[in-house]
Amino acid sequence: MALPSYAGPLETFWYYAFRIICGMIFVFLISPLIIIIPLSFNVEPYFSFSQGMLALDPDAFSLRWYEEFINSERWMNALQNTFIVAVCSTFLSMVLGTLAALGLSRSELPFKGVIMGLLISPMIVPLIISAAGMFFFYSSIGVSQSYAGLILAHTALGTPFVVITVTATLSNFDNNLIKASASLGATPTYTFFKITVPLIMTGVISGGLFAMMTSVDEVVVALFIAGAEQRTVPMQMWAGIREQISPTILAVATLLVCMSILLLTTVEYLRRRSETIRGITPH
């Protein structure tokens, strides 16, 4: 959208003003994420920039809060719990979600609309309602305050993302490839692992990353159904923000921002790769 040559002065002014407004909105979007990075290196136990930091005095910066994070048994424990729960629930979501997506993309499946609605419902229902319901139900069947309960809950919350991404990948899937494989003598199992799996893998992995992000970031359900032993990183952050605000939170937050940059890059890479692969297959 270059400025057209027939633009008058008013339009030229608006053209640049509009860009400045958009620039300010981008600043609004990104500044909260940028600002915490220098703050996490603050030597003082405050959430704001000290005089020394503004003067770029090296003594005003330190790795103090990162050390505190690494040496804190609570944080390390929380990290371990988050890891266990995220890995287990992501794996379960990927398996269950991919199977369901394979079924959903078959034309002969009856009640498709109802089933799809049911499967994505965990994404639509507000978390506080899911959390309240799970609190009642999981304690009545005796899995609240356990790893199993938390893993089941996070799996339920993560599967919709796998179902949606894999269904989307399969919607462009060329079924002639399956027939070609069969006509060349491959068994259905062989065809599945050699043809279907490689083609839908990008969808499965990006759905899995969404599910993992859901689990790593999830705090509402965890607050209701996890016990003290299952305390996760978000729960620890929640407690930290409510009780004593210390820059350790900002150090953790900085690490989490780095993780989201990594995840975003991976998902974007996968998305482009899958577009390239699909570009090869004729429609």
Partner 1 sequence: MMANTVEADGQLTPEEQKRLTADMNRSLRLRKIRSLLLVAPLVIFILVTFVSPIASMLFRSIDNPQIIEYMPNTSAAVAEWDADSNQLPGEEVFAALVDDLVTGRKNHTIGKAATRLNYEKSGMRSLLTGSARKAARLKPPFKDKLIQINSDWGELDTWRVIKRESRPYTASYYIAAFDMETTPSGEIKFLPEQQQIYLKLFWRTVWMSLLITAMTLLLGYPVSYLLASLPMRIANMLMILVLLPFWTSLLVRTSSWIAMLQGEGVINDVLVWFGLVDDDNRLSMIYNATGTVITMTHILLPFMILPLYSVMKTIPPSYMRAARSLGATPFTAFYKVYLPQSVPGISAGAILVFILAIGYYITPALVGGQTGQFIGNMIAYHMQSSLNWGLAAALGVILLVLVLGLYAAYSRLLGTNNQMSLR
- What is the rounded distance in angstroms from the CA atom of residue 161 to the CA atom of residue 204? 10
Amino acid occupying residue 274: S
Residues numbered 195 to 234 that lie near partner 1 (CB under 8 A) are: 210, 213, 216-217, 219-220, 224, 234
- What is the rounded distance in angstroms from the CA atom of residue 171 to the CA atom of residue 94? 18
13 touches partner 1 (CB under 8 A)? no
- Work out which of 3, 13, 35, 229 binds partner 1, going by CB under 8 A: 35
Taking the mean position of all CA atoms in its chain, how far away is CA 125? 18
- What is the rounded distance in angstroms from the CA atom of residue 161 to the CA atom of residue 90? 11
Residues numbered 135 to 194 that lie near partner 1 (CB under 8 A) are: 135-138, 140, 152-153, 155-156, 159, 161, 163-165, 167-168, 171
239 touches partner 1 (CB under 8 A)? no
What is the CB neighbour count within 10 angstroms for residue 67? Answer: 12
Taking the complex as a whole, how short is the minimal distance between the CB of residue 251 and partner 1, in angstroms? 11
Taking the complex as a whole, how short is the minimal distance between the CB of residue 229 and partner 1, in angstroms? 18
Amino acid occupying residue 98: T
Q: Which is nearer to partner 1, 75 or 161 (CB)?
A: 161
Taking the complex as a whole, how short is the minimal distance between the CB of residue 70 and partner 1, in angstroms? 18
Amino acid occupying residue 201: M
- What is the rounded distance in angstroms from the CA atom of residue 105 to the CA atom of residue 170? 7
127 touches partner 1 (CB under 8 A)? yes
- Work out which of 94, 250, 251, 270 binds partner 1, going by CB under 8 A: 250
